[in-house]
Structure 1
Amino acid sequence: MAVKCAIGLMSGTSMDGIDLAVVDTDGIDVLRRGPSAFVPYEAAFRRRIEAALDDAKAIERRDERPGDLADLEREITLRHARAVERFRADFPQAAGRAELAGFHGQTVLHRPEKALTVQLGDGALLARETGLPVVFDMRANDMVHGGQGAPLVPVYHAALARSLPARSARFPVCLVNVGGISNVTFVPETGDPVAFDSGPGNALIDQWVTAEGGVPYDADGMIASEGGVVRAVADAYLDSPFFARRAPKSLDRNDFTLNPAMGMELADGARTLAAVSAEAILAAAAHMPAQPRLWIVCGGGRKNPHIVADLRAGAKKLGGDVMLAEDVGLDGDAMEAEAWAYLAVRSVMGLPLTFPTTTGCREAVTGGVLVGA
């Protein structure tokens, strides 16, 4: 198959900015992972996106844009265009030769039970602004075929796991992405991956320290280091029926709230919610075909030492080891943006993006809309 160079663009449930990355791939193997970058959103723009989540609750059809959503969609798209322009200028030998962009957009609503998912992002406008063909809206076709529309990254996780050197690849491998929402991908040595959202990742912690401490996130877990786990609160979260539900399953950012945590001290809340994130990931092992021998942690949550320590302790009891993405030669910050580049190439090749074992779709299906080609 032909090899393409693509730029992936990701703005995730943490709503902190735009990740960019370059990948060379034939849509099957990851032939080269190139440079990456991050463009943060300023606090005021992040608050604007958070406010848009309330506007989005009124959406009944994917094309509806109530309240500020239409203007916000244009602004998000233009910010992505400026990020691409700077990225290509900074890395002309890699990003400058990109033939394609994979554009996630900003999720503001995800209701799989209604076959409804909304990502703000105008692919046609991005194509015009950058001069690149753009693949976007990659979740919708999965839902048309009975899937949850998430997670989409597992096919890339599987490609990465199978590209690891023999000393690192101890199958079955579980790749864990701790973003605003956490998701897990179980990769057997052969066969399709098994994946699903596992629970809240950083979102509740970020919301908690913003509401109670006036800061956007708990940098390096410093706030949590002053507190302890309030077991009754952690158990209240983990008693949610979501954790007992069999995969496939996915979450909206608003499916878990701060209500059970209210009344705690700031530090205890940060530490307890970190424990919830880790224990939710470990609980996912009950829905996997076998116990992972290796857990590889990526996403912003890998920088929270409490989440990682809790994962290490829990995985050891399950007979597995935990390593950070960088420990096996991967980039834990860029992985989702890399995935969107990889998915864009798979889309134009007509290859499946999702599988019955990852989203619950009836059959393996491709997806995405190509504009500007």
Structure 2
Amino acid sequence: MGFLGGVFGSPRIRFGKKVLEQVRGYEAVETAQFDAEAYEIAYRLRNGYVAKLNLDTLYRRFNGKISAGLFDAVDNLILPPDAPEGWEQVAHRLRPVLRRAGYGAVKVAGLDGRDLVLSRPALPYLSELVVIDLPSTVQFVTEQDLSRWGVDAEHVYSIAHANLTELAMNTMEAFDPPQGVRVLDFADDDGESYVGSLPLVAGWLEGVRARTDTRPLLFLPGHLGMLVVLGATPAVMPQLLALAAERQEAALRPLSAVPYTVDDNGEVIPLEVPEDHPAYSLIRRAQARLAVGAYHAQTEKLRAEEGCEGAIMELLHVRAPDGGEYTMTSWTDGATTLLPVADFICFVTGEGDVFRVAWDDVSGLVPLKLAAEYDPPRYRVHDHPPAEIMTRLRALAS
């Protein structure tokens, strides 16, 4: 970062803070908060309504420029005249979307965003949310909305999926048994088609497999669009991983460079390959980066909260001298600690002894307690295990 960038912040941050000033200036707005990580503004109106303003679309639409047009757009978005209120008016506008786990978990006027935004795990480190598709913006569905509409979460997800049925059927026309390797790029630059949400629809990717008689690969590098690959061979996998990583790097809201496929039950799952596969190291890298990114955002937000119950440990991405890559976290003795899921746990004793043990080996000797309220998941631990268990763990250290 250059000197001016370091002093005044990036153009995107300056843009976000300027919009925040405008939002806070509305008489109807009780409080508002800018989340630079998610690039959105969470706000509460004086009537109790809580919502979020996505800044990515505004930044693209106005090319990062502060103008009268921007102010008018924000004015319409904060209190959109066409925002539906009742369930009958809103149901047909619901759409499912994918975001990184923990997306939007910010506090608004003392309420935790995780208790407000409707969210559930979809894939490792990716969550499914639901939006209300409005003509000029989207609004994330909240728990408050469910109460107001008199429906439960499962019904909202079901309706959101059903609203993509026509799109799901239409996309099937693009799939035929491949002659060689075929990469289908389903773009959604304006965010209006929601084609990148089709993997959330039960049976869609399984339908691709049935229609093409091949096991498809799926990439979700950004929050818009997707890549579907037919006829992929081990030899071309490194090129596909490189393409996904490039798309992820260029995305306004990056998601995942991990390849996904379908299992024997038709469920979408991360692709697993043996260690001698040409793309094994690249897949491990993509998995590690996805996990580290999700946990980093969560760690920053949890550490910023008041009254945190214990030490919030970071997830580290380690590249070994032999080229291998893995994730690691630390367990320090004498304190309540929330551990992220990692390949290795590094034990730090009061005597300065440090050693690492594979997660699976630790969980085989120590009952790790899942703290169910966190997404991505964390495990709550306290003091180190008894001396005899520590001795056995040291023997397993690598």
Instruction: Please indicate the TM-score interval, normalised by the length of the shorter structure.
Output: under 0.3
- The structure carrying a bigger helix percent of its residues is 1
TM-score, normalised with respect to structure 2: 0.23
When Rg is computed on C-alpha atoms for both structures, the one with the higher figure is 2
